[in-house]
Amino acid sequence: MDFRNLIPFSKKNIDIRRDEENPFAMMQREMNRIFDSFSRNWEAIEFPEATGPFTPRMDVAEDAKAFTVTAELPGMSEKDIDLSLSGDTLMIRGEKNQEKEDKGRNYRYSERSYGSFSRSIPLPRQVDADKVSASFSRGVLTITLPKSSAVLDERKKISVRSE
Amino acid sequence: MTDANREMTKKEASIPEGVERTKPRSVFKPDVDIMEQKDDTVLTADLPGVDERSLDITLEKSVITIRGTVAPEIPAGFRLVYGEYAVGDYERAFTLSDEVDKDRIQATVKNGVLKLVLPKAAAAKARRISVTGA
């Protein structure tokens, strides 16, 4: 009987080393992030916080006509990303797989993360759901959410007359 | 922040002592995987927003430095209203051992992932010595 199969820590597995971080640096960064979040006001979209083991971070920007949501998804392609719109919720799903040619390779060091994720973004009222578009380039996903023309018109209709 | 969340957070690169940064932007240390196989060592690095034109790899003596510059991901005219990550350049250096054949290093970048193939020098490869019966 081959006893090696019964031992969970075979020679192959123990080579991986994880990058351990200084907990104080981590705390400081988290504090910075909290202070940063005070200075950015976010009225338009209620964004659920990133949770789970593999959740890409997202940024949201706005101009007069549209919102853009960007996410850094290195190593994924447009085929790995599934965007769907149901009602007022935009759902982003994706999976990042380890490279297939890994057989016969020994990991010496591993920092990158893999897995699947899903995030849902409740769209604000002023987004025109029919005109949502997305592009993927250099590992960055950009989703454009145009504001509906009804909302844009509403905003223009105030005129001040002199008496 | 939980341990699981930490993995997706970009880490700031450390500034070498006595060096001042001239650009007012963040520089991040990209996450890498290093794998070894029979003939080469493969280094993969996550560099979202970087393509072949904005990536600069230099080898000086035995130190290989990866530098990637990232164009702003927010389109012109937009202002950031909610931020979970910051956009910045990438920088990380590795010291290569003599085992690496420095003339045959190959680099490819696809979908924001750099793959650096570091072939082993002939002397460092494991060789099989055939035994013949006398």
The CATH classification number of A3-99+107-154 equals: 2.60.40.790
B105 located within any domain: yes
Pick the more confident residue, B92 or A20.
Answer: B92
Residue B67's identity, in one-letter code, is R
B130/chain A closest Cα distance in angstroms: 23
| Pairwise CB contact (< 8 Å): B34 & A108 | yes
Contact between B42 and B117 under an 8 Å Cβ cutoff? The reply is yes
Dump pLDDT digits (tens) for A73-132.
888 888 888 888 877 788 888 888 776 555 666 777 777 877 788 888 777 767 787 888
pLDDT at site B3: 46
Contact between B116 and B43 under an 8 Å Cβ cutoff? The reply is yes
B131 located within any domain: no
| Pairwise CB contact (< 8 Å): A112 & B46 | yes
| Pairwise CB contact (< 8 Å): A61 & B81 | yes
Which range of residues forms the domain containing residue B81?
Answer: 3-122
Contact between B67 and B25 under an 8 Å Cβ cutoff? The reply is no
Give me the residue from A21, A56, A61 closest to B8, CB to CB. A56
pLDDT at site B4: 46
B73 located within any domain: yes
Domain ranges, ordered by start, for chain A: 3-99+107-154
Residue A117 corresponds to which tokens in the numbers above?
Answer: 């994720």
pLDDT at site B22: 67
- Average model confidence (pLDDT) across chain B: 80
B94/chain A closest Cα distance in angstroms: 13
B127 located within any domain: no
Residue B75 corresponds to which tokens in the numbers above?
Answer: 């389109």
Q: Report the number of distinct structural domains present in chain B.
A: 1
B19 pLDDT above the threshold of 70: no
Residue B106 corresponds to which tokens in the numbers above?
Answer: 């190959």
Distance (Å) of CA A86 to CA A70, A92, A122, B106: 20, 11, 10, 45
| Pairwise CB contact (< 8 Å): A113 & B112 | no
A49 pLDDT above the threshold of 60: no
CA gap B122, B101 in Å, rounded: 8
Mean local confidence (pLDDT), B11-22? 66
Angle at B65 between CA B5 and CA B100, to 5 degrees: 105
Looking at this predicted complex, what is its ipTM? Answer: 0.71
Dump pLDDT digits (tens) for B85-108.
888 888 899 998 888 888 889 999
- Least confident window among A8-12, A33-37, B52-56: A8-12
Pick the more confident residue, A82 or A21.
Answer: A82
CATH of the domain at B64: 2.60.40.790
Give me the residue from A62, A74, A102 closest to B79, CB to CB. A62
| Pairwise CB contact (< 8 Å): A105 & B111 | no
Distance (Å) of CA A138 to CA A10, A157, B53, B58, B114: 37, 41, 11, 21, 11
Identify the top-confidence range among A104-108, B2-6, B46-50, B125-129.
B46-50
Pick the more confident residue, A11 or B104.
Answer: B104
pLDDT at site A108: 73
B55 pLDDT above the threshold of 60: yes
CA gap A131, A140 in Å, rounded: 20
